[in-house]
Structure 1
């Protein structure tokens, strides 16, 4: 679809989703130590720089396959978009490339929250490049580019069944992918010095709230953006109201848990619930009625608020709760469709077949992303080293790694 209005919308949506990665930088930056804020935010901006370039060079070519049995597309098929930029219809085709790039960028940037306060920037960029190539680009092909996840329902139940994995905007490709990769990387780098409950308080709560606001703002491009290819933007209204409702309910679910557990609802809890609701609605935004979306947001807010405590019980140091928010929220949203997807879920007139493919797709992405991230992280750690030394970690990594301070008082 190339109507002028649709083109205008996808350009806007691309800008909105790109803005989400600086939003992640603010969200994460406020949560870390004051002497690590530059390092934390630079990990997001570094991901923007490297992934955008790789996507243009070969990532987009890898994100679509000719056969569902292919692992990924040929990275040299349209290197540097030389053909896409000159063929008929390039104006519209390149918009799809740009929009897809923003998804690749934020997926990798999300992983950085798991290793806050202790990672070196150079090794992080090496990880970004390799995981983008072996992690995100192939998984995008599986989910949206004709790969095995797109064809799973037809393989298992026949094309006539009409059963297909539902992941409209990235429950598997973005959130489960990033969350599983983050868990692996947190295990590779190990725990922060003095790791325990309450190890540190957010150094700048307003910065985190600003980041959350930018994320919610940009998420309308994230979820509603893809409808630009449909006639008259079909489905935009449903997706927009579901994005609003699930996020709002996520806030309520999280702060309810905080009130019951600790007696006080916090602002950090509210915006964490907001993100939990947004993560959960991402795969489901086009396939739920608004009431079921509100319920999903509330459930994800409650579940993720409880899940972030797992790192203390299980002993892994996911600094900023990427696992508790994105892996858990992505799993909830993707599997929830098996029960409540309009006309297909088990509890709304369907049967177990959709639930089966949702679970298989989620598990496949989770296991693959975890293993790939673990191997890349171990390779980097055992060769050039990924983690800063103990003295630099205690002092804060900004001056050591970047030669800058987040807050400088000048006479």
Structure 2
């Protein structure tokens, strides 16, 4: 457990503005509502599309110098290839960060404030190497729970099949008095999604997982969890969509977003340089999936509509390896760790704005937004957490 104190810092708000000309003041958005753009945003000037300015992305300047960037972590916190971060619902300032390199989670309490504490949670003795092996992503779910996606396809415990097909997502208690990252603090686990690279919560105990091995988006219904340290997975349901249609990029997460307003699933197809959108309501039940390690319902879902919402190769500014993905007020924010950029798209896939951070390849992974609109990003190359704010 690490405890670290950082100075107090201010949290300005997220907003969108319309780009009205090069002479406008950068970040002058005090009258704008979050997520709102003027009716002129997206119109063409001289044949070129006009970007809608997003202040947290530099307000069409694309320049990180127009933002306040703060490293809120320190070496003492024990970050080790951080891949994702999320704020715990209902607990102000509690930020959870996954560490792929050493199978751990760092929890920041009062993140970014003078009272900040960092707690590293790692379990080397209670099979943490299986239940939290190479965590790529996490998502908070029903109150008191969260789940992780493990980017692992190796043998992690005695008796696992040698082909590495046993790995899958784990559901946990989020109670800091109980969670350790090992067997006794997990609530459930379902299998046959090795190299899981992203995860997001739908409802109840249902999550969407980016399955790197099968190139699919897989819906995991844990249903009733088996309780702390249990082993009965038979009431689970596993449904695999878009089987073989997605790519996999080693060591880079491919994050997932579930949109409750439409039931669409968005995902960063890192290897193929694109953002995809799945409509799961269009799919039909297919064949059973084997091997079935859990004795549960496990089927392919065929013919679900999967479209390329954003093709990075078609953008005027290069996006080659999308990874981080967040949906905020109708804007899809996407990080590209190879190009060192963060993009903002509307839900039709139109580019609204982008930020060039200038960070080296491998830096920008998962991201999260706080209630003030600040953008927090896991920097895997520097083993840091950075907060991006709009200057007041």
> Common fold, TM-score beyond 0.5?
no
Give the TM-score band, short-chain normalised: under 0.3
Determine which structure has the larger helix proportion and give its number: 1
TM-score after normalising by structure 1: 0.25
Determine which structure has the larger strand proportion and give its number: 2
TM-score after normalising by structure 2: 0.26
Which structure has more relative contact order (CA 8 Å, sep 6+)? It is: 1
